Amino acid sequence: MPLSQAQQAEIEIARAARTETRRATVPALEEMLFTALPVLDHGFVRVIDYMGDDAAVVQAARVSYGRGTRKVSEDKALIKYLMRHRHSTPFEMCEIKYHVKLPIFVARQWIRHRTANVNEISARYSILDQEFYLPRPEDLAAQSAQNRQGRGDSLGTDQAALVLDLLRDDAERTYRNYAWMLNEEEAADHDPERPGLARELARMNLTLNTYTQWYWKTDLHNLLHFLSLRADAHAQYEIRVYAEAMLDSVKAWVPGCYEAFADYRLGAVSLSAGMMAVVKRLLAGEAVTQEASGLGKREWRELMVSLDRPEA
């Protein structure tokens, strides 16, 4: 389970608390505060705190005092304009903080986005839980022949079962050795003859599918950039499902910004000058081939996929 009974009780206490405030609040996101959205087999994402709303983006763009008397439709149009023309600073006025539980190998991908404040649980200080990610059989796939950092066809049932057994055995064995090396006095199998190795050294034995946790705080502009990459269909499944859970919180928090983001980022494609020239030739009725397009094979393939056309 993603949460223990003690953690769930702590969350219920936090959700029951009420604080009077004059700052902007968003009822839909308030309902989500502290609630753990399950991800993978033991992971979760939960919103801890936030600042700002759609109106904060509009206010920053207009540098106005208060909310003013503009119509909602005008505010939405301005947000769409800002998103369409890639203005960034108005979206930086909003911030959000998440608590995330995720496998270590996903965290190492995630941390490459160096535009957030991060504080991860320290295995030098704490003992990591005996929880590790095991993929569903249908998520186990062979290496892609076209994409060096992607997956190809799913493994067969028998092969998937063998891989899952190996992953489970490795994780359980290394955690047993981790606990043995620590030899904590509180453990039921404590033995004064065992080493009692420092936590900062014992941790190096753990597998990358072991779960870690962190607090991750960022502004809306950088969050949307993260989501545009990690909620994309080409992103690795294990990080994409976290991004999709976070998209739900963005939709509740800033629905106007989410709508513009879905329109101009998630549902849009970017065309190079060469790609645009090919589109114009196609619209003019010309039968363009890859060889005559001036595009490389990969760029040509990407364009055809974007246009939902069979490759010529």
Q: What is the amino acid identity at position 142? A: A
Asked if 183 contacts 191 with a C-beta cutoff of 8 angstroms, the reply is: yes
Residue 220 CB neighbours (<10 A): 28
DSSP 144: P
- SS3 at position 256: helix
Strand partners, 154: 141
Axis-axis angle for helices 297-306, 273-283 (nearest 10): 50
Give the torsion through C-alpha atoms of 287, 292, 294, 296, to 10 deg. 100
How many Cβ atoms sit within 10 Å of the Cβ of residue 157? 10
Query: What is the Cα–Cα distance from 240 to 230, expressed in whole angstroms?
Result: 5
The number of CA neighbours under 13 Å toward the Cβ of 29 is 26
Cβ-proximal residues to 149 (8 Å cutoff; 6+ apart), any chain: none
Distance between CA atoms of residues 228 and 86, nearest Å:
13
- Is 15 assigned a catalytic role? no
Give CB contacts under 8 A, 24+ apart, made by 78-83: 79/54, 79/256, 79/257, 79/260, 80/259, 80/260, 80/263, 80/264, 82/57, 82/260, 83/257, 83/260, 83/261, 83/263, 83/264, 83/265
Strand partners, 212: 102
Selecting among 46, 203, 230, 240, the annotated active-site residue is 230
Element (H, E) at 10: helix 5-16
| Residues acting as catalytic residues | 230
